[in-house]
């Protein structure tokens, strides 16, 4: 398969950590931000917003995360804007995590994944967020394709929205993970897949674990290290209340793979100061990890 990244996602994530640290800048062209930045409430405004964020991120961080919904709002024109933002970011050497939260079964989930992973696809990204509501097994084709194409997946496990807690903390009554919470079972399935793959510093498949939730309440083991280390996309820093100096306390043995994701806390304010805000927060994150 031609046009693939030259190294597995886990290797490229490790390189991004080494070169630019762990901060991931969200690209969220919410209408409130477009208005604050004096941009049109349109696909054109979303495109300009996204490109400005990419420009401010280059040389300061290694990872960006476009929120697909805010582009999808504008239909095909919004997707065209998103394609340009993703392409510009990847051409500049940034890792792009497409925050689309896709999830389905069979050929449908395979098609979703191909649209974000296949070389030459207009939406080609480095990683994708996915939902395992139908079971982690429903993502098998996506996980295999991620490994094949040197891309990454982040499976929702313990999210920061309060209404998700009841479902994610529910205890399974049957199957091989009986007695575990839904969140813990997802994590164990992800570990199992990563351990079956060729060795990488970080697994191909990661997790979304909110930085504002008490992971122990979800039955999640943060005391035992696993190999390969699991990438953890951790939203909730900054505006939502989580502090970067608390990463070790919050994630324990999962800390080596934590990606500190922040959007609103960085995007709010004058666009002229965005690069400074990103640089300052990136330094705080680096200092907190030693």
245 CB contacts (<8 Å, ≥6 apart)?
A: 284, 288
What is residue 177's DSSP assignment?
T
User: How many residues appear in the chain?
Assistant: 290
Does residue 101 have an active-site annotation?
A: yes
**29 vs 154: CA distance, rounded Å:** 22
Which of 260, 263, 254, 261 is closest to 286 using CA atoms? 260
Which member of 44, 65, 101, 151 is catalytic? 101
Which residue in the block uniquely carries the two structure tokens 């709010």? 268
The torsion angles phi and psi of 268, rounded to 5 degrees, stand at -70, 130
The torsion angles phi and psi of 233, rounded to 5 degrees, stand at -85, 115
**Radius of gyration, alpha carbons of the chain:** 18
Is residue 198 classed as helix, strand or coil in its secondary structure?
coil
User: Residue 287 CB: number of other CB atoms within 10 A?
Assistant: 11
Residues 241 and 213: beta-carbon distance below 8 Å:
no
Residues carrying an active site annotation: 101
């Amino acid at each position: 398969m031609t046009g693939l990244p030259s190294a597995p996602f886990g290797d490229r994530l490790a390189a991004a950590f080494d070169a630019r640290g762990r901060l991931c800048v969200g690209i969220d062209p919410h209408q409130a931000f477009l208005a604050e930045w004096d941009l049109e409430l349109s696909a054109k405004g979303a495109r300009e917003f996204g490109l400005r964020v990419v420009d401010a991120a280059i040389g300061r961080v290694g990872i960006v995360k476009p929120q697909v919904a805010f582009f999808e709002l504008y239909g095909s024109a919004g997707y065209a804007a998103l394609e340009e933002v993703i392409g510009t970011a990847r051409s500049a050497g940034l890792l792009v995590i497409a925050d689309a939260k896709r999830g389905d079964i069979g050929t449908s989930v395979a098609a979703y994944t191909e649209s974000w992973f296949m070389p030459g696809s207009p939406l080609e990204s480095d990683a994708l967020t996915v939902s395992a509501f139908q079971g982690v097994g429903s993502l098998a084709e996506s996980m295999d394709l991620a490994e094949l194409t040197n891309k990454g997946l982040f499976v929702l496990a313990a999210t920061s929205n309060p209404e998700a807690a009841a479902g994610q903390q529910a205890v399974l009554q049957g199957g091989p993970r009986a007695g575990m919470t839904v969140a813990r079972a997802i994590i164990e399935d992800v570990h199992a897949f990563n351990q079956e793959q060729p060795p990488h510093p970080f697994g191909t498949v990661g997790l979304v674990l909110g930085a504002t939730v008490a992971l122990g309440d979800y039955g999640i083991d943060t005391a035992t290290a696993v190999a390969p280390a699991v990438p953890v996309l951790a939203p909730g820093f900054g505006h939502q209340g989580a502090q970067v100096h608390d990463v070790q306390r919050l994630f324990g043995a999962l800390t080596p793979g934590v990606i500190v994701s922040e959007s609103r806390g960085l995007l709010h304010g004058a666009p002229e100061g965005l690069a400074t805000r990103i640089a300052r927060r990136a330094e705080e994150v680096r200092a907190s990890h030693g």
